[in-house]
Chain A
Amino acid sequence: MAKIEFKGVAHSYLRLPKRPEDYALQRMDMTFRDGGAYALLGPSGSGKTTLLNITSGLLFPSEGQVLLDSVDATRLPTAQRNIAQVFQFPVIYDTMTVFDNFAFPLRNRKVREPEVRRRVMQVADMLGLAEVLNKRASGLAADAKQKISLGRGLVRSDVAAILFDEPLTVIDPHSKWSLRRKLKQIHKELKLTLIYVTHDQAEALTFADEVVVLHEGRIVQVGSPTDLFERPIHTFIGHFIGSPGMNIIPCKIDGPAARLEGCAIALDPNYATRAARAKGTMQLGIRPEFVRYRPSATEGYVPAEITQVEDLGNYKILTARLGGHLVKAKVNEEIQVAGSAGWIGFPPEWTRLYADGYVLN
């Protein structure tokens, strides 16, 4: 059982932080459900690893409290937390056999030898390493080594949460796939809380029930992969998730429409009324998947110059020039693009407005 709660946690690597920029992790509240599979997604330097290290106790936060199962564990040493962590590069004890590697955390905790043997066998079976138990760990391939790192967490009967810090970085693509499946399977069987740091969105979206997006030390959005895709609450998430990212275009609200340079895009009337009251710099956002294309004039569509067509097999990406801005549209491969003149449409149900970067609801 491990519910992990952050209460007003903030962290700075400086001794006397003054400005908000001095913090690697801005003040935040966050709860990781017991048994949840979370992905921490964000670019380099967004505070993912800091968040992870605070959870495992490798780092004590400058401010706030960390609660494990509602008990304050802010200053609890790493070894006493029921949390294991797997790092970017496999950590194995070179001089030991695979068996001794697995047994190491148990022996350090003075677990009796028959019990050590039983747990190690069980975990080795689960990870498919039973055959190599008596081999030197240093001679194995990277993915086997990473499994050993993971196994050292799994052998401990007290462990209720495992944290992963970009664990598949050094693994080749094929093994990556099978290792990820193994992780999902272990999550299902053992009902552990998993927190998985990555900057690879595909990895995050396939692995996690919930994705936590970090940007400049802040949690920007927590949601299911679908939420993040369909309802990004910040332009950063629109950009960061999806390929190509969301189209973000500066606009002004004019009655029931959003006015871009040289054209007006009809909005949902209720949405437009609310948008008219919003303050700040307005931007219109729409995913390329939802932008429509027609070769000829169509009601509700705006004329645009098609500057580029990329055929990517089962879909095409069109780049359209609309006033001074480029809009990407992901369209079906059957759609034929004729000439540089075209008409593009923005379905109101998928067209979002952002004020100072944050979505209007």
Chain B
Amino acid sequence: MMRKTLDNRAWLLVLPMGLLVAFNALIPLMTVVNYSVQDVFDATHRVFVGADWFREMLRSDRLQAALVRQFVFSGLVLLIEIPLGVAIALVMPRKGGWATSLTLVLVALPLLIPWNVIGTIWVIFLRPDIGLLGHFIDHTLGIHFDYPTVPIQAWVSVLLMEVWHWTPLVALLAYAGLRAIPDAYYQAARIDGASAWAVFRYIQLPKMRGVLTIAILLRFVFSFLIYTEPFVLTGGGPGDSTTFLSIYLVKIAVGEFDVGRAGAFSIIYFLIVLAFSYVFYQVLQRVGTGEKA
């Protein structure tokens, strides 16, 4: 049997990592925990309130509405971006060469733009007077277009921007998955007399399972945390109609300077994301082992 020696000097080896995690995660998180259990009046006056903020926030209609909005948004994002990304990957050129390189760069372009710039681009793009798309909808199609005041138009605009921004990620992942399929599969399918649909259904889709799982996970978490682009485009409006969780959080914390409520909300938000990350991590692990067979 292996003998384990006890030596407290080993803690020194763990220390750098401990410090890193402390400054990176634990200390900021503790500040938030600190705020969430107190009512802070000013720099010197504060009262311990226990779980009151949590109870209040969980019952808050605005938070519940933002949560529902968030899930609907993330759901729609997945429903649109995953099939669209796969479709784009399928029509991208399969062989190497300059056409492939060019396509890859063009497809990846939206991913390379800073997020607040994306918001700004779309603000201009959607303006009914000088924006290409806004003007087209308003004048050419004759539909009155004013997304900052019409909730449904604001929603569609944010969704459209998100799809434009992030579908390339799905497309690139799916493309990588497609490229990894050996030629023999396509050749065997031709010999077996498989239709294009059967090739997609029984070869391409199953072989893309791994990358698509990753795509779904990434897109879900990213869209669940979305802040910058809708903040620039709509600022969460009109009213609360595009106020997603993070925008709502910033409204409470910075707008209303209500650090107690914001702290409690942060922790609830954090736990939701953590729960989803855990589930996704488990799924990913299983995908990994499934591929080995």
Please determine whether A91 and B188 come into contact, CB atoms closer than 8 angstroms: yes
Please determine whether A93 and B203 come into contact, CB atoms closer than 8 angstroms: yes
Please determine whether A108 and B195 come into contact, CB atoms closer than 8 angstroms: yes
The CA of A49 and the CA of B185, in the complex, are separated in Å by 16
Instruction: Point out the residues of chain A lying under 8 angstroms from B251, CB to CB.
Output: none
Please determine whether A87 and B190 come into contact, CB atoms closer than 8 angstroms: no
Instruction: Point out the residues of chain B lying under 8 angstroms from A139, CB to CB.
Output: 293
Tell whether B2 is near chain A: CB-to-CB under 8 Å: no
Instruction: Point out the residues of chain A lying under 8 angstroms from B202, CB to CB.
Output: 93, 95-96, 104
Please determine whether A104 and B194 come into contact, CB atoms closer than 8 angstroms: yes
Please determine whether A109 and B193 come into contact, CB atoms closer than 8 angstroms: yes
The CA of A334 and the CA of B86, in the complex, are separated in Å by 70
Please determine whether B206 and A94 come into contact, CB atoms closer than 8 angstroms: yes
Please determine whether A152 and B192 come into contact, CB atoms closer than 8 angstroms: yes
**Nearest chain A CB to B164 CB, angstrom units:** 32
Tell whether B207 is near chain A: CB-to-CB under 8 Å: yes
**Nearest chain A CB to B17 CB, angstrom units:** 40
Tell whether B44 is near chain A: CB-to-CB under 8 Å: no
Tell whether A79 is near chain B: CB-to-CB under 8 Å: yes
The CA of A149 and the CA of B184, in the complex, are separated in Å by 11
**Nearest chain B CB to A154 CB, angstrom units:** 12
**Nearest chain A CB to B99 CB, angstrom units:** 16
The CA of A93 and the CA of B192, in the complex, are separated in Å by 11
What is the count of residue pairs linking A and B with beta-carbon distances less than 8 angstroms?
Answer: 55
Count class of interface residues, chain B? 10 to 19
Tell whether B114 is near chain A: CB-to-CB under 8 Å: no
User: Residue on A with the closest CB to B182?
Assistant: A89
* B-contact 0/1 string along A132-151, CB 8 Å cutoff: 00000011000000000100
Tell whether B198 is near chain A: CB-to-CB under 8 Å: yes
With A96-B202, A139-B293 known to touch, is A91 a contact of B193 (CB < 8 Å)? Answer: no
Q: Which of B184, B192, B293 has the most CB of A within 10 A?
A: B192
Please determine whether B188 and A85 come into contact, CB atoms closer than 8 angstroms: yes
User: Residue on B with the closest CB to A56?
Assistant: B191
The CA of A340 and the CA of B188, in the complex, are separated in Å by 58
Q: Which of B187, B190, B191 has the most CB of A within 10 A?
A: B191
Instruction: Point out the residues of chain B lying under 8 angstroms from A87, CB to CB.
Output: 184, 187-188
Please determine whether B187 and A85 come into contact, CB atoms closer than 8 angstroms: yes
**Nearest chain A CB to B275 CB, angstrom units:** 30
The CA of A108 and the CA of B182, in the complex, are separated in Å by 21
User: Residue on B with the closest CB to A85?
Assistant: B191
Tell whether A88 is near chain B: CB-to-CB under 8 Å: yes
**Nearest chain A CB to B200 CB, angstrom units:** 12
17 A-B contacts (beta carbon < 8 Å): A53-B187, A78-B190, A78-B191, A79-B190, A83-B191, A85-B188, A87-B187, A91-B188, A93-B202, A93-B203, A93-B206, A94-B207, A95-B206, A104-B194, A104-B198, A108-B192, A109-B193
Rank and list the top 5 A-B pairs by shortest CB-CB distance, nearest first: A79-B193, A91-B188, A105-B192, A87-B184, A108-B193
List B residues at the A interface (Cβ < 8 Å).
182, 184-185, 187-188, 190-195, 198, 202-203, 206-207, 293
